[in-house]
Amino acid sequence: MDLNPYFFFAFAGLAVAFALMVVLKKNPVASAFSLVMVFFCFAAIYAMMNAHLVATLQVLVYAGAIMVLFIFVIMLLAVDVESFDLGRSHRGLRVTAGVMTSTLLALFVWMFRNTSTFGKHGTHTLEQIQAVGGNTQAVSQLMFSDYILPFELTSVLLLAGIVGAVAIAKRQSARKEAK
């Protein structure tokens, strides 16, 4: 892999640190802002891996749209501190979860270390992508040729999401007005 190791380890370390802060910070606003930093670190790693369109979408969709939605809801609820954190979860649960996930993680890392990525290589080599006109051009051509049906179906999914979100979030006030 032709990644710059210093930048990769810097961004990976930052992402892990901020991901831990998402989980461990008691204040959800602090968690949300840590999550924004994780998303930016991921965008940097995507850009280093020549996935420029994915890196741009990461910043626009995740760090932009989704996180604004999260922070907006946190502010909208205006929850006082005690209802946000009525106390930590049970100690036994925390220890069990930590042990279980770190065991699974060790298993995964061992498996990644001792197996090689094999499979049928595609045609999108670096030279071929350069010849088409860059990563964004190549991905876009693929999106509007081979993946046109799933791409169109995502619009249906997003429409269903919008309608569902409005219906769920508005139901209570509509019922109150009916009374």
Which residues between 10 and 69 bind other proteins (CB under 8 A)?
Answer: 12, 15-16, 19-20, 22-23, 28, 31-32, 35, 38-39, 42, 45-46, 49-51, 53-54, 57-58, 61-62, 65-66, 69
At a CB cut-off of 8 Å and minimum separation 6, what does 93 contact?
none
How many CB atoms are located within 10 Å of the residue 33 CB? 17
Q: At what angle do helices 28-48 and 5-24 cross, to 10 degrees?
A: 160
CB of 156 to other proteins, least distance (A): 10
Residue 146 CA, chain-centre distance (Å), reads 25
133 or 164: CB nearest other proteins: 164
Residues 69-88 that bind other proteins (CB under 8 A): 69-70, 73-74, 76-77, 79, 83-86, 88
Please report the sign of the dihedral spanned by the C-alpha atoms of residue 125, residue 129, residue 130, residue 134: negative
Nearest to 18 by CA among 31, 27, 9: 31
Nearest to 29 by CA among 63, 72, 61: 72
Report how many residues bind other proteins under the rule CB under 8 A.
90
CB of 174 to other proteins, least distance (A): 11
CB of 7 to other proteins, least distance (A): 9
Q: Which of 14, 37, 59, 142 binds other proteins (CB under 8 A)?
A: 142
Residues 104-133 that bind other proteins (CB under 8 A): 104-105, 108-109, 112-113, 117, 119-126, 129
